[in-house]
Amino acid sequence: MQRKDYLLNPVEHMKIKAPLTVDQLMRQFSGSGSFSAGRLAVACDIYEKMLRDDECTVFLALSGAVIPAGLRALVSDLIRRRLIDVVVCTGASMVHDAIEAVGGRHYKGSWLVDDRELYKYHIFRIYDVLVTEEDYVRLDYQLAELYSKIADERKGEPLSSREFTWELGKYLSDPQSILRSAYEMNVPIFMPAARDSEFGFIHWLHSSQQNRKNTLCLDAFKEVPEICNICSQSPKNGMIVIGGGVPRNTVQSAALASKKGMDYAVVVTMDRPETGGLSGSTLKETISWGKVKDEADKVMVIGEATMVFPLMAASVLERLGEEFQRKPKTSTGEN
């Protein structure tokens, strides 16, 4: 590179006039182009580009506790507007979704409360969000019955986690539920670590019931070709990662195993690379594996998702406009 090539784009300082729409603010972030504001603006550009690219299947990898913290309706709405094609998430995320679908709630609290008192009151804390044990118990009993029903219908034939979430979505009637929305829109939800959540303990409850004919069996490996085939059959693939952990790894590994590599990648995380863990690993590192293509549009935003992801969504929805339509992805198949 020549010296002058480094000096092509002066920072345009943000001008904050009120009122600004979210996307107008994002344009200011884009002009400035630095640090997290600049990265966030790039993330919006990439998400918009994914959505306008007819060939691209959009994966959402979801970890952490953003669902109880207020992003449930947002994810659900994005699914219903076909702005997400495939979800890969932790079991806990869908447990939180289901708790609300069967009438439970999450409550605003504080991280400074007396946890011994909460314990006494059978209230559980997730940083500054609270949830009651009774809301868990209500879910437990409803789903234990559902497990038995599914097991009988399938006669013990193992399900993949995708089939399992499809059954959950079929069962839950709450239209705001992520599981329900995905079921109605034929958006697959994978939960590679479904066992590591209340779904696992509900299974224990279900399997220890007397007079049970069949036991639900979740085949851990069955989903591997399912998700890889989605990548493989889609001309292009893009991912939006919230957090890290198993969901990020599963999506990236599907891109690798299907020998496609992601064409678009946005990662929103607070984790850092120096521990060597997958969650904080850079997108530069993914290139060595072929998980994300070298030439992909990609960016990592260092920030907390309850703040960053709604900003991205609001900005991109504003750009797309109400009339924007995306076609369902045939590659995500039917159940």
User: What is the DSSP secondary structure assignment for residue 157, as one 8-state letter?
Assistant: -
Task: Report the residue number, 121 or 141, with the smaller CB distance to a second copy.
Answer: 121
Q: Tell me the closest approach of the beta carbon of residue 90 to a second copy, in angstroms.
A: 8
Task: Report the residue number, 36 or 335, with the smaller CB distance to a second copy.
Answer: 36
The residues annotated as belonging to the active site are: 291
Q: Tell me the closest approach of the beta carbon of residue 234 to a second copy, in angstroms.
A: 18
Provide CB contacts within 8 A for 12, sequence distance 6+.
31, 32, 33
Task: Report the residue number, 46 or 69, with the smaller CB distance to a second copy.
Answer: 69
Q: Which candidate, 301, 297, 295, places its Cα nearest to that of 271?
A: 301
Task: Report the residue number, 67 or 187, with the smaller CB distance to a second copy.
Answer: 67
CA 246, chain centre distance (Å): 11
Q: Tell me the closest approach of the beta carbon of residue 56 to a second copy, in angstroms.
A: 21
Instruction: Kindly tell me the burial class for residue 302, based on how many C-beta atoms sit within 10 Å of its own C-beta (0-12, 13-18, 19 or more).
Output: middle
Max CA distance (Å), the chain:
78
Provide CB contacts within 8 A for 24, sequence distance 6+.
none
Q: Tell me the closest approach of the beta carbon of residue 320 to a second copy, in angstroms.
A: 8
Between CA 257 and CA 260 the distance in angstroms is 8
- Cβ pair 123, 163 in contact under 8 A: no
Task: Report the residue number, 44 or 56, with the smaller CB distance to a second copy.
Answer: 44
Q: Which residues pair with 123 in a beta bridge?
A: 132
Q: Which candidate, 36, 89, 37, 86, places its Cα nearest to that of 67?
A: 89
Q: Tell me the closest approach of the beta carbon of residue 55 to a second copy, in angstroms.
A: 23
